[in-house]
Amino acid sequence: MKLKFSKMHGLGNDFVVLDGVRQQFSLTPEQLRYLGDRHFGVGCDQILVVEKPTRPGVDFRYRIFNADGGEVEQCGNGARCFVRFVHEQGLTGKPEILVETMKGVIAPRLEADGNVTVDMGIPRFLPEEIPFLNDDDSIIHHLDVADDTLEISVVSMGNPHAVNVVADVDGAPVGVQGPAIENHPRFPQRVNAGFMQVLDRHAIKLRVYERGAGETLACGTGACAAAVAGIRRGLLDSPVRVTTRGGDLSIAWGGAGCPVLMTGPAVTVFSGEIEL
Ligand SMILES: N[C@H](CCC[C@H](N)C(=O)O)C(=O)O
């Protein structure tokens, strides 16, 4: 079958975006891995699928697949590209849309300056909400990784995040500790591993070794999780500028029970067609 797609990115976290409203398809994990393959396919960190909603009161369904072919609950950079895509494709004229995901409804909004703001929902911290195998809900947990014991904070933005604070993010052992955290047995659904360097009370640098994709140039839900973890630890105050290798995001959070607001760019690089 021939599939039309758009290649997009949010700060270098890149996506193949598929219109599942006007195209009918069901992709196997092998086909998803082929789309994500940077040598034999199109190449991306995640594949994003736009579908009609399955519940009343929302505009679209948003499905996210990592480059390893696994479907996941949430993608923040992808949410910004999602609203840009549905506008560019003429699927909506509404500047703010409601979008259902595996773990709740998010609200991306096109801003007048070309950026996109997304209400990413309320972060969750209980071990069973991550999921993380632990007896209590504390702000810092100890995790034995490779030859170290890390102090991590766990946050769910719909998808799971383990955030640890480092002195120098550029020198952090992301390539070694990242996969060890991602696949740690205390995370039964694996986890995204964030490495955060605090610059001041309103600014951090962040690298994320993503579940199912490896280190990406930016991670939107990872930026939300890191800012929230830093605020909970008393290291940061909202709003937080999150500097990733791909550029800056702005994250705002009013505290427990409040949603996280993420603002940043969304770019369409090209559109194409592929035979699957
Ligand atoms: N790798 C993530 C999904 C993509 C998240 C990231 N690209 C973002 O912008 O939030 C996971 O398995 O939960």
In this predicted structure, what is the pLDDT of residue 146? Answer: 82
Q: 232 labelled as ligand-binding?
A: no
**Ligand 1 center from residue 74 Cα (angstroms):** 6
pLDDT tens sequence for the chain (276 residues):
999 999 999 999 999 999 999 999 999 999 999 999 999 999 999 999 999 999 999 999 999 999 999 999 999 999 999 999 999 999 999 999 999 999 999 999 999 999 999 999 999 999 999 999 998 889 999 999 988 999 999 999 999 999 999 999 999 999 999 999 999 999 999 999 999 999 999 999 999 999 999 999 999 999 999 999 999 999 999 999 999 999 999 999 999 999 999 999 999 999 999 999
Atom of ligand 1 nearest to the CA of 221: 10
The answer to whether domain 127-258 has CATH 3.10.310.10 is yes
Q: 220 labelled as ligand-binding?
A: yes
User: C-alpha distances in angstroms, 164 versus 152, 227, 228, 233?
Assistant: 5, 11, 12, 11
Q: 33 labelled as ligand-binding?
A: no
**Ligand 1 center from residue 106 Cα (angstroms):** 15
Q: Give the start-to-end residue ranges of the domains of the chain.
A: 2-112+265-275, 127-258
User: In degrees rounded to 5, what are phi and psi of residue 171?
Assistant: -100, 5
Pocket residues for ligand 1 (CB within 6 Å)?
A: 13, 45-46, 64, 66, 72, 75-78, 159, 192, 210-213, 216, 219-222
Q: Which CATH number fits domain 2-112+265-275: 6.10.140.120, 3.40.50.300, 3.90.1150.10, 3.10.310.10?
A: 3.10.310.10
Query: Would you put residue 146 in left (φ > 0), alpha (ψ -120 to 50) or beta?
Result: left
Which ipTM value was assigned to this complex?
0.98
Q: 210 labelled as ligand-binding?
A: yes
Q: 13 labelled as ligand-binding?
A: yes
**Ligand 1 center from residue 24 Cα (angstroms):** 25
In this predicted structure, what is the pLDDT of residue 85? Answer: 98
Rounded distance between C-alpha atoms, residue 121 and residue 159, angstroms: 12
In this predicted structure, what is the pLDDT of residue 136? Answer: 87
pTM of the model: 0.98
Atom of ligand 1 nearest to the CA of 161: 13
Would you please indicate which residues are annotated as catalytic (active-site) residues?
Answer: 75, 219
Residue nearest to atom 5 of ligand 1 (CA): 75
Residues in Cβ contact with 7 at an 8 Å cutoff, skipping those fewer than 6 apart: 14, 15, 16, 17, 42, 44, 268, 269, 270, 271, 272
In this predicted structure, what is the pLDDT of residue 258? Answer: 98
User: 102, 191, 219, 260: which to mutate for ligand 1, most atoms within 8 A of CB?
Assistant: 219
User: In degrees rounded to 5, what are phi and psi of residue 201?
Assistant: -70, -10
Task: Kindly give the residue spans of alpha helices, DSSP state H, lying in the chain.
Answer: 29-36, 76-88, 174-182, 220-232
**Domains 2-112+265-275 and 127-258 fall in the same CATH topology:** yes
Contact (Cβ atoms closer than 8 angstroms) between residue 87 and residue 99: no
Residue nearest to atom 3 of ligand 1 (CA): 75
**Ligand 1 center from residue 17 Cα (angstroms):** 14
